[in-house]
């Protein structure tokens, strides 16, 4: 046991003290925080303003197209050629020409001239605005009261309510559940590949340098494999915990600085809405619709609060650890069977196929978390670390969760025993490329 502890200690500190570990520990959170913050920041800053000159030959759209923060409409009566001169020299960057009789055309096709390609959202906004105006004109032509149509148009927002065993109601959000499940699954997926491959490379390196010949003279091969797997697992957990802490701190600091004004505006709007709601309920409803987008973040946080975070974190830790241990044992077996990393390709594919397939399966599981396929692959040890994490936010029955965990532990013990047999023989094999047939023989060698 003391020798096993020494191996774990050696594997852990030899990697933690490396400059690459310290560098990735710092760069990882910066990259993750950047992925979360930078796109939002760019979306807020990099919004192109469009000045559009409208040449409306029908006269139906004059002063009717609604302006937005990024799109402003100006109406002209000049010819297209003179308008294009303004497009060239400014101030307009878009010219829209509308035909003489768009009401009677089966398909209205306005022409949009530009000197710089507008974005898809701008084009969609313009076409939707024209479509809505034509829709109103056609209704008026049929003597239909537009105010009744407007009153009839009301958004539908589905709320999902879970009825607990004690009869209480809990609000849930399917989209949030899917997001949480996939984030956990992605983290496990990348950690298994990242640190599992480190086990494989470590075995190959020791085998190539003949260091292992000295080590196995005083330590059993299985102890060496187990110590390497556990040591690198602790390295992964250390780096993962540091990544979480640093990412949260960096993200909080950057968000507070960049979005300080937006957060203050949201708080101010919420206070105004609350005040209006106390004085006038109907007015408050209208105000709520205007600031709905500001409260989306708060709604998202409330949805996260409705998830059983304690259960999710405990299950995540379990599947993260045993999923890694299972695959790390297989990676160690592969590393012991080859002499160089280039020779691993024929053996690594069968090991990685279940992981890759897990993500393909997870997409179907997210749409139907209680299907027979979802149940099977969330219990099967090679796919359960990914698939079960996707299912977990949807409230998996206790017996399925327990069976999945037991299956994963049994699978880990079995594959560790299997990899140990390969490791015991393969770690001392040099100069001969192992085949599947050769590895099959190693499994039946007696110690």
More confident site: 258 or 150: 150
- How far is 234 from 113, CA to CA, in rounded Å? 61
Residues 6+ apart with CB under 8 A from 291: 266, 269, 270, 273
- Are 294 and 435 in a shared domain? yes
Q: What is the pTM of this model?
A: 0.64
pLDDT at 291: 41
- How far is 409 from 358, CA to CA, in rounded Å? 18
β-pair partners for 161: 171
More confident site: 88 or 41: 88
pLDDT digits (tens, 9 = 90+) for 175-185: 676 777 788 88
- What are phi and psi for residue 18, nearest 5 degrees? -70, 145
Is residue 5 assigned to a domain?
no
Name which of 34, 35, 49, 134 is nearest 90 in CA terms.
Answer: 49
Alpha carbon of residue 41 to chain centroid? 18
- Are 418 and 271 in a shared domain? yes
pLDDT category at 409 given cuts 50, 70, 90 is very high
> What's the number of CA atoms in the CB half-sphere (13 Å) around residue 238?
15
pLDDT at 369 over 50: yes
Q: What is the pairing mode between strands 50-56 and 71-76?
A: parallel
- Are 139 and 276 in a shared domain? no
- Are 283 and 364 in a shared domain? yes
Of the ranges 20-34, 186-200, 239-253, 269-283, the best mean pLDDT one: 186-200
Is residue 24 assigned to a domain?
no
Is residue 321 assigned to a domain?
yes
Structure tokens at 151: 């009153």
pLDDT digits (tens, 9 = 90+) for 304-354: 556 667 787 888 889 988 998 899 888 888 887 877 777 777 788 888 898
137 vs 103, 126, 142, 146, 185, CA distance in Å? 8, 17, 9, 9, 51
Residue range(s) defining the domain that contains residue 115: 50-152
Q: Which of 125, 152, 179 is the last residue of a domain?
A: 152
pLDDT category at 279 given cuts 50, 70, 90 is very low
Q: What is the mean pLDDT of residues 102-113?
A: 76
Is residue 247 assigned to a domain?
yes
- Are 325 and 396 in a shared domain? yes
- How far is 362 from 369, CA to CA, in rounded Å? 9
pLDDT at 281: 40
Sign of the CA dihedral running 342, 348, 349, 353: negative
Give the DSSP letter of residue 17: T
- Are 114 and 211 in a shared domain? no
Structure tokens at 166: 């004690």
- What are phi and psi for residue 395, nearest 5 degrees? 65, 80
- Mean of pLDDT over the chain: 76
H or E stretch at 322: helix 309-337
pLDDT at 11 over 60: yes
Structure tokens at 203: 């075995």
Q: What is the pairing mode between strands 160-163 and 111-114?
A: unpaired
- Are 180 and 309 in a shared domain? yes
Question: Do 427 and 207 meet the contact criterion of CB atoms below 8 Å apart?
Answer: yes
pLDDT at 145: 73
What's the total number of domains in the chain? Answer: 2
Residues 6+ apart with CB under 8 A from 239: 21, 24, 25, 28
- How far is 109 from 97, CA to CA, in rounded Å? 9
- Are 325 and 201 in a shared domain? yes
Q: Worst-scoring range by mean pLDDT, 301-305, 329-333, 395-399, 419-423?
A: 301-305
> What's the number of CA atoms in the CB half-sphere (13 Å) around residue 31?
7
pLDDT digits (tens, 9 = 90+) for 203-216: 777 777 777 667 76
Residue where the block lists tokens 């602790």: 234
Name which of 198, 104, 178, 244 is nearest 389 in CA terms.
Answer: 178
């Amino acid at each position: 046991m003391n020798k096993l502890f020494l191996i774990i200690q050696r594997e852990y500190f030899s990697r933690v003290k490396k400059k690459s570990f310290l560098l990735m520990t710092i760069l990882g959170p910066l990259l993750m925080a950047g992925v979360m913050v930078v796109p939002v920041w760019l979306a807020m800053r990099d919004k192109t303003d469009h000045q559009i000159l409208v040449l409306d030959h029908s006269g139906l759209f004059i002063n009717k197209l609604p302006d937005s923060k990024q799109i402003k409409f100006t109406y002209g009566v000049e010819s297209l050629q003179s308008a294009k001169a303004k497009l060239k020299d400014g101030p307009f960057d878009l010219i829209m020409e509308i035909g003489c009789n768009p009401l009677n055309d089966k398909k209205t096709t306005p022409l949009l001239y530009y000197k710089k390609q507008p974005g898809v959202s701008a084009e969609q906004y313009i076409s939707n605005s024209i479509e809505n105006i034509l829709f109103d004109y056609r209704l008026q032509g049929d003597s239909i009261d537009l105010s009744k149509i407007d009153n009839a148009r009301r958004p539908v927002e589905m709320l999902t309510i879970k009825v607990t065993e004690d009869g209480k109601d809990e609000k849930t959000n399917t989209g949030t559940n899917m997001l949480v499940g996939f984030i956990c699954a992605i983290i496990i997926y990348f950690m298994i590949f990242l640190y599992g491959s480190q086990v494989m490379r470590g075995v190959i390196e020791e085998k190539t340098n003949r260091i292992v010949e000295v080590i196995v003279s005083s330590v059993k091969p299985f102890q060496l494999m187990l110590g390497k797997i556990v040591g690198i697992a602790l390295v992964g957990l250390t780096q993962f915990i540091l990544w979480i802490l640093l990412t949260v701190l960096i993200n909080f600091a950057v968000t507070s600085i960049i979005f300080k004004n937006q957060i203050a505006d949201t708080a101010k709007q919420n206070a105004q809405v609350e005040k209006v709601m106390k004085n006038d309920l109907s007015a408050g409803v209208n105000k709520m619709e205007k600031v709905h987008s500001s409260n989306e973040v708060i709604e998202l946080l409330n949805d996260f609060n409705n998830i059983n975070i304690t259960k999710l974190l405990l299950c995540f830790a379990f599947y993260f650890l045993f999923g890694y241990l299972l695959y790390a044992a297989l990676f160690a077996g592969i590393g012991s069977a080859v002499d160089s990393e280039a020779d691993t390709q024929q053996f690594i594919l069968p090991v990685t196929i279940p992981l890759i397939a897990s993500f393909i399966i997870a997409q179907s599981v997210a749409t139907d978390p209680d299907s027979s396929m979802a149940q099977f692959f969330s219990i099967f040890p090679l796919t359960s670390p990914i698939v079960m994490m996707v299912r977990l936010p949807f409230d998996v029955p206790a017996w399925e969760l327990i069976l999945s965990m037991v299956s994963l532990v049994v699978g880990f013990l079995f594959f560790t025993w299997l990899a140990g047999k390969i490791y015991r023989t393969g770690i001392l094999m040099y100069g001969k490329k192992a085949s599947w047939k050769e590895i099959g023989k190693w499994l039946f060698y007696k110690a």
